[in-house]
Amino acid sequence: MNSPGQPLPRRDHCYALLWLVALIGCALFCMHQIRVAKPFHSNLLELLPRDERKPVIHDLSLTMASRFEDKLLVLVNAADRAQGLAQARDLQARLLASPYLVADDSGQALPSLLLHQYRPYSQQLLTPERRAWLQSHSPMALAEQRYRELFSPVALPYPFGFAEDPFNLGGYWMTGLAAHVELQEYQGFPLIERAQPWLLVTAKLTTSPFDVAVQQDVSTAIDHFRSAWPQAQILTSGMVFHAAEGTRMAKHEINTVGIGSGLGIIVLVLLVFRSAVPLLAVLLTMTSAYVLALTVSLLVFERIHLITLAFGSTLLGVAGDYVLHFLMGSQREGSGARARHELRYAMAIGALTGMGAYLLQSATPFPGLQQMAVFCAAGIAGAWLTVLALAPYYRMAPDSHRPSLVAAAMFYRLGEAVYRPFWARPKRVGAALTIVVLMAVFSLVRGGVNDAVTNLNTSPEALMASERQVQDILQQPSISRFLVVEADTPEQLLVRARLLESTLKQWNDEAKTSLRWLGLHQYLPAAAQQEQDRQLVAATLYGPEGALVLLCQKLGTPCKAPELSPQVLTPAVLDENISRFLPPLLHRDGRWYSLVTLGGNVSDAQLVELTRSLQGVTFVNQTADLSSLLGRYRLSVSEILGLTLVLLAVGLAFRYRQRGWRMLLPLAISMVLALGCAAVEGITLFHTMALLLVIGIGLDTAVVYTEVGFNAESWLASSLACMTSVLAFGLLSLSVVPVLHQFGIIILIGILSAWLLTPLFFCPRYHRPPGQ
Partner 1 sequence: MMMRFLLLLTSCLLALPAWAGDDLLAALGERSRQIQSLHGQFEQQKTIAVLPTPLDSNGRFTVEQGQFVVWELLQPVQQTIRLSPAGITLETDGKAEQIGASMPKNGAETVTRIFMAVISGQWQTLRDHFAIEATGDTGKWQLTLTPRSPALASYIRQITIRGGEFTEYLAIAETNGDNTSIRLVTDKVVRSPQ
Q: Is 83 in the site for partner 1 (CB under 8 A)?
A: no
Among 357, 387, 348, 388, which residue's Cα sits nearest to residue 689? 357
**Residue number with CB closer to partner 1 (557 or 613):** 557
User: Applying CB under 8 A, which part among 21-29, 52-60, 167-175, 701-709 lies near partner 1?
Assistant: 167-175
Q: Within 10 A of 129 (CB to CB), how many other CB atoms are there?
A: 11
**Residue number with CB closer to partner 1 (552 or 624):** 552
Locate all alpha helices (DSSP H) within 569-621, ordered by sequence.
Answer: 576-579, 604-611
Q: What is the CA radius of gyration of the chain?
A: 34
User: Applying CB under 8 A, which part among 183-191, 649-657, 677-685, 763-771 lies near partner 1?
Assistant: 183-191
Q: Min. distance of Cβ 147 from partner 1 in angstroms?
A: 7
User: Applying CB under 8 A, which part among 170-178, 375-383, 399-407, 525-533 lies near partner 1?
Assistant: 170-178
Q: Is 104 in the site for partner 1 (CB under 8 A)?
A: no
Q: Which of residues 127-166 bind partner 1 (CB under 8 A)?
A: 127, 129, 133, 145, 147-148, 150-163
Q: Min. distance of Cβ 510 from partner 1 in angstroms?
A: 20
Q: Quick check: 146 and 547 in contact, CB under 8 A?
A: yes
| One residue of 174, 319, 372, 667 binding partner 1 per CB under 8 A | 174
**Residue number with CB closer to partner 1 (140 or 445):** 140
Say how far apart CA 325 and CA 332 lie, in whole Å.
Answer: 11
| One residue of 27, 45, 62, 115 binding partner 1 per CB under 8 A | 115
| One residue of 21, 109, 410, 643 binding partner 1 per CB under 8 A | 109
Q: Is 200 in the site for partner 1 (CB under 8 A)?
A: no
Say how far apart CA 171 and CA 190 lie, in whole Å.
Answer: 21
Q: Detail the DSSP E strand segments found in 106-196.
A: 184-186, 189-193
| One residue of 2, 63, 65, 111 binding partner 1 per CB under 8 A | 111
Say how far apart CA 537 and CA 315 lie, in whole Å.
Answer: 71
| One residue of 5, 185, 566, 590 binding partner 1 per CB under 8 A | 185
Q: Quick check: 58 and 632 in contact, CB under 8 A?
A: no
Q: Is 86 in the site for partner 1 (CB under 8 A)?
A: no
Q: Is 25 in the site for partner 1 (CB under 8 A)?
A: no
User: Applying CB under 8 A, which part among 91-99, 182-190, 241-249, 347-355 lies near partner 1?
Assistant: 182-190
Q: Is 112 in the site for partner 1 (CB under 8 A)?
A: yes
Say how far apart CA 663 and CA 617 lie, in whole Å.
Answer: 55
Q: Min. distance of Cβ 30 from partner 1 in angstroms?
A: 46
**Could you give the string, one character per residue 537-566, with x where binding to partner 1 holds by CB under 8 A and - elsewhere?**
------------------xxx-x-------
Cβ contacts of 564 within 8 Å, gap of 6 or more: 123, 124, 534, 537, 538, 542
**Residue number with CB closer to partner 1 (86 or 270):** 86
User: Applying CB under 8 A, which part among 180-188, 333-341, 539-547, 618-626 lies near partner 1?
Assistant: 180-188
Q: Min. distance of Cβ 62 from partner 1 in angstroms?
A: 30
Cβ contacts of 465 within 8 Å, gap of 6 or more: none
Say how far apart CA 504 and CA 128 lie, in whole Å.
Answer: 14
| One residue of 19, 29, 68, 186 binding partner 1 per CB under 8 A | 186
**What is the bridge-based pairing of β-strands 304-305 and 40-41?**
parallel
**Residue number with CB closer to partner 1 (159 or 312):** 159
Q: Min. distance of Cβ 735 from partner 1 in angstroms?
A: 46
Say how far apart CA 215 and CA 231 lie, in whole Å.
Answer: 24
In angstroms, how far is CA 8 from the centroid of its own chain? 49
Among 29, 52, 35, which residue's Cα sits nearest to residue 297? 29
User: Applying CB under 8 A, which part among 185-193, 204-212, 660-668, 724-732 lies near partner 1?
Assistant: 185-193
SS3 236: strand
Tell me which DSSP letter residue 8 carries: P
Angle subtended at Cα 294 by Cα 288 and Cα 295, rounded to the nearest 5 degrees: 90
Among 397, 376, 381, which residue's Cα sits nearest to residue 277? 397
Say how far apart CA 71 and CA 202 lie, in whole Å.
Answer: 7
| One residue of 1, 17, 53, 182 binding partner 1 per CB under 8 A | 182
> For partner 1, how many residues bind (rule: CB under 8 A)?
43
Q: Quick check: 735 and 744 in contact, CB under 8 A?
A: yes
Q: Quick check: 78 and 197 in contact, CB under 8 A?
A: yes
**Residue number with CB closer to partner 1 (7 or 153):** 153
**Residue number with CB closer to partner 1 (164 or 416):** 164
Q: Quick check: 678 and 731 in contact, CB under 8 A?
A: no
Positions in the binding site for partner 1 (CB under 8 A): 108-109, 111-112, 115, 127, 129, 133, 145, 147-148, 150-163, 171-172, 174-176, 178-179, 182, 184-188, 191, 555-557, 559
